Structure 1
Amino acid sequence: MQRITITIDDELLAAMDRLCTERGYGSRSEAVRDLVRDAVAPSQGDQAGAASYYGTLSYVYNHGTRDLARRLTDEGHHHGVSIASMHVHLTRDDCLEVAVLHGSVPAMQAYADRIITQRGVRYGHLHLIPENSAEPANHPHPHGDNAGH
């Protein structure tokens, strides 16, 4: 294991310490390792040949922004990675959209980038999950047709 030195401002350090306390990290180092793992895991997985991932893209946008809803819908129809979505009205002006994605990391990242960078989108986050971490779709599970209700 290597030791590194980083420099961050006081406000960010206070936020990191709150994160460590809230999540129960024993040290700042453990928190930083988890953050880095989360950031690099998708690209490492893709390089290792794990080409298929699931993901969620959540974003908040102002539905009054000219032509934005149509542009967002068009992106979803033309990238081939969006498999489902949920739309929630947060305020009179703001909507939250959560898209469930499936595909390669580069394809999902390109889709997320196209959505998040649209004028009127104020927040966006792509969360990636390696396909091999999910249960196979044909595996029986208790909430299916044979749930015994």
Structure 2
Amino acid sequence: MSLPKKLLTEFDDVLKDRGYNSRSKGIRDALKDYIVRYQWMRDMEGDRVGIVAVIYDHHYTGVMEDLTNIQHQFREYINANMHIHMTENKCLEVIVVKGDAQQIRDLTEKIMRLKGVEHVKLTTTSGGEKL
């Protein structure tokens, strides 16, 4: 496995802060967390309401256009969005979603696969009238 030096340095810093003695243990824990998050997303059912938080590098060629195109494809499930300039290069897009869990999952996974997107987090709850 190869990783960019900056990512590995940041990971090592997190491991140190958390008291890990082994990079291998940290990688195992990170992979387990990734799998649990995926399984949670996969198992969502029914109507959901929530947000998709996306951090991306707006200087990456085409990322803003790709993100907009995906949002247009899923416009029936998007209630609102907010764009925040975090730094010179980084932006945060907060997308408010409501509707079928499968469609929200598809929207989220398409965004995750975009080049230039650095982080995506989906948070949802039941979309029913009784919350």
TM-score between the two structures when normalised by the length of structure 2: 0.65
Residues matched between the structures, number: 99
How many Å separate the matches in 1 of 2:42 and 2:126?
A: 8
**Alignment map for 1:1-149 (pairs within 5 Å):** 40=40, 43=43, 46=45, 51-79=46-74, 80-132=76-128
Q: Which runs of 5+ in 1 are unaligned?
A: 1-10, 16-35, 136-149
Q: Which runs of 5+ in 2 are unaligned?
A: 1-14, 20-35
* Identity between Structure 1 and Structure 2 (%): 23
> Is the Cα contact below 8 Å between 2:41 and 2:105 reproduced in 1?
no
> CA RMSD, aligned part only?
2.8
> Is the Cα contact below 8 Å between 1:42 and 1:130 reproduced in 2?
no
Structure with the higher fraction of residues in helix conformation: 2
Select the structure with the greater relative contact order (CA < 8 A; seq sep ≥ 6).
2
Of structures 1 and 2, the larger Rg is shown by 1
* CA distance 1:133–1:42, change in 2 (3 Å): farther
> Is the Cα contact below 8 Å between 1:42 and 1:128 reproduced in 2?
no
Structure with the higher fraction of residues in strand conformation: 2
Deviation at 1:132, TM superposition (A): 2.5
Q: After TM superposition, what 4+ stretches of structure 1 lie above 6 angstroms from structure 2?
A: none
